[in-house]
Structure 1
Amino acid sequence: MRKKLTSVWAHNFEQELASVDRCLCRFPIVSFDTEFPGFLRNTPRRASEGLRYQDLAFNVDSLKLIQLGITLFDDRGNVGGTWEFNFRGFDEETDPHVPESIALLKASGLDLEKFGKFGIDSDIFVEGFVEILRVHRGRLVWVSFHGLYDSAYVMKLVTRKTIPSSPIEFAKVAGRLFERVYDLKFMARYCPGLFGGEIGLERMATILGVQRCGDAHQAGSDSLLTAELFLKMRSEFGLKPGMYEGFLYSLSPKICGASKYLCSSVHTVHRAPPHSVILVPAFPTRPVILIRHPFSRDQSCQSRHHAAPVMLYRHPPPVFLHRRPCSPFPALPQALPENHIHM
């Protein structure tokens, strides 16, 4: 298992982005993490989803991304590499930030003066990164820990737009951008011994016996730890491919990739084999057991869980497949000059 963490700056950006492109052909699962200048609005713990989303949009739209870390791996536990992209553009003197958050990043080893001098221009990053998404479209699986903010910052970076106006619109854009997502904090709700998901990254690593490589609060190290925890959770708790796919912690609409409509309404299970049991998380309570009856392909699934409203989803395709070498996918265009892209 490769443990190398590669720090990417303006001078080696093209070389390392080409390495990421090649690596994705063999390692299509992407764990990612971001570092940013804190939270201008701290959302109350028991706030409604509407308020949480308003605070998310305000924070992400007001602040600049400092660092993006990605780790590429496969379903057999092989890690292709970790890259830490360091962005220029954040100025501690003039840009909004939370002083305590900046102090924490500095204490964790981030040299913000170096970022300003040698960091990657975000426009140059987007041009190359969007091309990679286009080439590998339909193949990638994205994994995060408490990934709503991470996803929002990547969405803002790639689309060059403000955050969508509602959770449903956010899920639609996320479905076109990421297609297939997993959030370890959401998954932890259904795993015994992980405190119902009310747990941080470091505490989860301690409980599951996963050792960090690198320093905490740096995006590359955090993305690598997220990848290893995802693999450990799969083996430790017997999670099947497709379980808990499409959900981000604190976001109720399901993220459905390559779909013409959002999967937040009632859908039937599509082409499920007779009597197959499919575990689907019904946010925000617990999984729902759905059974496809064999007598009619067109009839809906029936649920054994009637205590709460049931959301039925399309039968999820397998996540972990042995894929042939990648080929171009023309569906996602390159970044357009008018500062936005059509996903």
Structure 2
Amino acid sequence: MANRFTAVWADNFAQEIAAVDRFLTHFPIVSFDAEFPGFLRNTPRSASDALRYQDLRFNVDSLKLIQLGITLFDDLGNIGGTWEFNFRGFDEETDPHVADSITLLKANGLDLEKFRKFGIDPEVFEEGFAEVLRMHRGRLLWVSFHGLYDSAYVMKFMTRKAMPSSPTEFAAMAGNLFERVCDLKFMAKFYQGLLGGEIGLERMAKILRVQRYGDAHQAGSDSLLTADAFVRMRAQFVLKPGMYEGFLYGLSPKICASSVHRVRAPPGQVILVPVVPTRPVILVRHSSSSRDQSFQSHHQASPMLYPYPSPAPMLMHRPMCIPFHALPQAPPHYQIQM
């Protein structure tokens, strides 16, 4: 397999988080999957949104993240690599868990004793990963399958805080961290042939004719399968950019990014500044105030291509996202072509 598939432990974390930083420059779509020790509360299908969220909150606050997988890819479906981060901190003897879930993880190859001895310290991961996300803020799209719990565990990990008390507060916190999200299970609700979204990742992959690499219930393999399924689904249904962004299956409020932030520009590229700025608005800011003033005075007059210098400038980006509870309308007659 050509894809770069890397297991990350404490001893190679610094090297691999630097690699993630480099690859994100060219592969800004991040599919992700989390492995955790089960569900202490199982939510009935008929549960209200409020009960569903309170079960999520209880489960995530009570349990620990064991493994996180991310796959980086681009708009053309080119895969930059897959990383599987293995964490220390979970102790099967003392920490809450569901025995059947742990048995399943072990059966699929997770060596929890190795995790305990050689896993990444959660605080070390949070500090390194937070810096990477800060540098690429505003550029990333996060893709998951049934990603509400995956998102919640990553949020808890990165913020070191308990889950917010309401779905609306959760959506606001998720917007600050992830900014742009897509959930394949949510998207599947609107397309014929995908069983109205009542479908697992493995079944969806088979319908879309996507091959799995690695073992199920390992976060790296699941994140890669999610990436491949997203690419196939987007091509099959000719999805437009931004379609269904902001929704997680099982969460009513839409997830929206904060209105203003800074990001690092990809090196060696140019920026086109229109005569009449359109949204999203991108402003180039340089370290030299004189260059700032010169650029700002010219961009009102005519379009121009402005090469990114070295070091790369910082951008200010205003994404257009309006939180709302109504679900988007599905385009009609989208079907799987077998």
Supply the distance in 1 between the matched residues of 2:140 and 2:279 (Cα, whole angstroms): 23
Aligned partner letter, 1:152: A
**Alignment-derived partner of residue 241 in structure 1:** 241
Supply the distance in 2 between the matched residues of 1:165 and 1:96 (Cα, whole angstroms): 21
Supply the distance in 1 between the matched residues of 2:325 and 2:235 (Cα, whole angstroms): 23
**Alignment-derived partner of residue 83 in structure 1:** 83
Per-residue deviation, 1:174: 0.4
Are the counterparts in 2 of residues 3 and 213 from structure 1 also a CA contact under 8 Å? no
Aligned partner letter, 2:170: F
Question: Is the radius of gyration larger for structure 1 or structure 2?
Answer: 2
Supply the distance in 1 between the matched residues of 2:324 and 2:229 (Cα, whole angstroms): 23
Are the counterparts in 1 of residues 214 and 221 from structure 2 also a CA contact under 8 Å? yes
4+ runs of 1 displaced by more than 3 Å? 280-286
Per-residue deviation, 1:2: 3.8
Aligned partner letter, 1:75: D
* Cα separation, partners in 2 of 1:157 and 1:194, compared to 1, 3 Å: same
Supply the distance in 2 between the matched residues of 1:248 and 1:51 (Cα, whole angstroms): 16
Supply the distance in 2 between the matched residues of 1:203 and 1:61 (Cα, whole angstroms): 30
Supply the distance in 2 between the matched residues of 1:104 and 1:119 (Cα, whole angstroms): 20
2:332 is the counterpart of 1:287: no
**Alignment-derived partner of residue 184 in structure 1:** 184
Aligned partner letter, 2:104: L
Per-residue deviation, 1:5: 1.5
1:286-317 per-residue CA deviation (whole Å, 9 max, x = no partner) reads 6178xxxxxxxxxxxxxxxxxxxxxxxxxxxx
Are the counterparts in 2 of residues 281 and 288 from structure 1 also a CA contact under 8 Å? no
Per-residue deviation, 1:190: 1.1
Are the counterparts in 1 of residues 255 and 323 from structure 2 also a CA contact under 8 Å? no
**Alignment-derived partner of residue 148 in structure 1:** 148
Are the counterparts in 2 of residues 215 and 221 from structure 1 also a CA contact under 8 Å? yes
2:223 is the counterpart of 1:223: yes
Supply the distance in 1 between the matched residues of 2:237 and 2:157 (Cα, whole angstroms): 35
Supply the distance in 2 between the matched residues of 1:172 and 1:251 (Cα, whole angstroms): 12
Aligned partner letter, 1:127: E
Supply the distance in 1 between the matched residues of 2:83 and 2:149 (Cα, whole angstroms): 19
Supply the distance in 1 between the matched residues of 2:6 and 2:101 (Cα, whole angstroms): 24
* Cα separation, partners in 2 of 1:185 and 1:288, compared to 1, 3 Å: closer
Are the counterparts in 2 of residues 32 and 223 from structure 1 also a CA contact under 8 Å? yes
SS of the aligned residue for 2:10 comes to coil
**Alignment-derived partner of residue 168 in structure 1:** 168
Are the counterparts in 1 of residues 253 and 323 from structure 2 also a CA contact under 8 Å? no
SS of the aligned residue for 1:32 comes to strand
Are the counterparts in 2 of residues 244 and 281 from structure 1 also a CA contact under 8 Å? no
Per-residue deviation, 1:29: 0.4
* Cα separation, partners in 2 of 1:284 and 1:48, compared to 1, 3 Å: farther
Q: CA RMSD in A?
A: 2.0
Are the counterparts in 2 of residues 88 and 116 from structure 1 also a CA contact under 8 Å? yes
**Alignment-derived partner of residue 23 in structure 1:** 23
TM-score by length of 1: 0.77
Supply the distance in 2 between the matched residues of 1:104 and 1:283 (Cα, whole angstroms): 36
Q: How many residues align?
A: 273
Are the counterparts in 1 of residues 254 and 324 from structure 2 also a CA contact under 8 Å? no
**Alignment-derived partner of residue 35 in structure 1:** 35
Are the counterparts in 1 of residues 244 and 328 from structure 2 also a CA contact under 8 Å? no
Aligned partner letter, 1:192: Q
Are the counterparts in 2 of residues 37 and 97 from structure 1 also a CA contact under 8 Å? yes
**Alignment-derived partner of residue 112 in structure 1:** 112
* Cα separation, partners in 2 of 1:126 and 1:148, compared to 1, 3 Å: same
SS of the aligned residue for 1:12 comes to helix
Alignment of 1:65-144 (within 5 A): 65-144=65-144
Are the counterparts in 2 of residues 190 and 286 from structure 1 also a CA contact under 8 Å? no
Supply the distance in 2 between the matched residues of 1:285 and 1:167 (Cα, whole angstroms): 15
Alignment of 1:242-281 (within 5 A): 242-259=242-259
Aligned partner letter, 2:63: L
Aligned partner letter, 2:239: L
Per-residue deviation, 1:271: 6.8
Per-residue deviation, 1:284: 6.8
**Alignment-derived partner of residue 48 in structure 2:** 48
Are the counterparts in 2 of residues 27 and 80 from structure 1 also a CA contact under 8 Å? yes
Supply the distance in 1 between the matched residues of 2:218 and 2:206 (Cα, whole angstroms): 18
Supply the distance in 1 between the matched residues of 2:29 and 2:239 (Cα, whole angstroms): 16
Are the counterparts in 2 of residues 182 and 244 from structure 1 also a CA contact under 8 Å? yes
TM-score by length of 2: 0.78
* Cα separation, partners in 2 of 1:288 and 1:226, compared to 1, 3 Å: closer
Aligned partner letter, 2:23: C
Supply the distance in 1 between the matched residues of 2:219 and 2:149 (Cα, whole angstroms): 13
Aligned partner letter, 2:329: P
* Cα separation, partners in 2 of 1:281 and 1:259, compared to 1, 3 Å: closer
Supply the distance in 2 between the matched residues of 1:218 and 1:164 (Cα, whole angstroms): 28
Are the counterparts in 2 of residues 2 and 78 from structure 1 also a CA contact under 8 Å? no
1:93-147 per-residue CA deviation (whole Å, 9 max, x = no partner) reads 0000000000000000000000000000000000100000111111111000000
**Alignment-derived partner of residue 196 in structure 1:** 196
